[in-house]
Amino acid sequence: MGEASAATTLLVCAPNVERALEQVARFPRLAQVDLELEDYTGLAEALSGALRGRTVARVAAKTPVQAVALLAIDAAFEVTLTLTHETAAWVLSLAEKPSRIALRQPNYERLTEASANDVDLRAFFAKFTHDVPVDNVPACILGREPRAPRALLDTAMMTPAGRLEIFRYTRRYILEGYRTKSLRCTACSHFEKCDGMHVNYVRAHGYEVMRPVET
């Protein structure tokens, strides 16, 4: 699938570096790699070994411990930190902003997960005003344009033969594509290019967080 597409970057979601390398090896044409792993043990060695010749562009971190370890690796990749209560508190405690950090608001499949883990985004970005890349947060909350989302060929919704599988598609849509706006958003100057917020963020916290930008 990836070899026949116009894709330029391979996003690998895996439990560890060993499993990630198995997937990277399947796509020799894709020179740029993004990683979302549970365990990054061995990544520094892989960068100078099995991943040599590939550009690792973005690496996702879910905890401050992961972020610190990834930032300590002598490499140019971005560390994309998932916003949770724990990571938000850590970022706000930093005396200086790490030069390679980015922030991402996660989506949750279940309302209970959103209620338990979501940060008060408006309050957070009122305090954190550094100009870092931010994903999945509307401009009306961020106070500036967020980073544009990338086009993604999501193979998690497909069979191994590359065909769309309806139950996988439904699950992926609920997690990534099920978004909503307030009726008030029609007056916002960002309305046409903004997809709103994930439905479970709104279910957990209401539409009030989205306030139209009128310019």
Determine the Cα–Cα distance for residues 136 and 120; give it in Å rounded to an integer.
Answer: 14
Which residues form the domain of 79? 9-155
Residue 119 domain flag: yes
Confidence at 94, pLDDT banded by 50, 70, 90: very high
Stretch among 31-40, 95-104, 130-139, 154-163 having the lowest mean pLDDT? 154-163
The size of the chain, in residues, is: 215
203: pLDDT confidence band, cut at 50, 70 and 90?
very high
205 in a domain, yes or no?
Answer: no
* Residue 86 forms part of a structural domain: yes
Share of the chain above pLDDT 70, in %: 98
Burial of residue 152 (CB within 10 Å: 0-12, 13-18, 19+) is exposed
Does 4 have pLDDT greater than 80?
no
Q: What is the pLDDT of residues 139-161, one digit of tens each?
A: 999 999 888 888 777 778 788 87
Mean per-residue pLDDT for 34-55?
95
The structural domain count of the chain equals 1
Q: Where are the alpha helices (DSSP H) in 15-119?
A: 17-25, 43-47, 64-71, 85-93, 111-117
pLDDT at 5: 61
Closest listed residue to residue 150, CA positions, set 4, 10, 22:
10
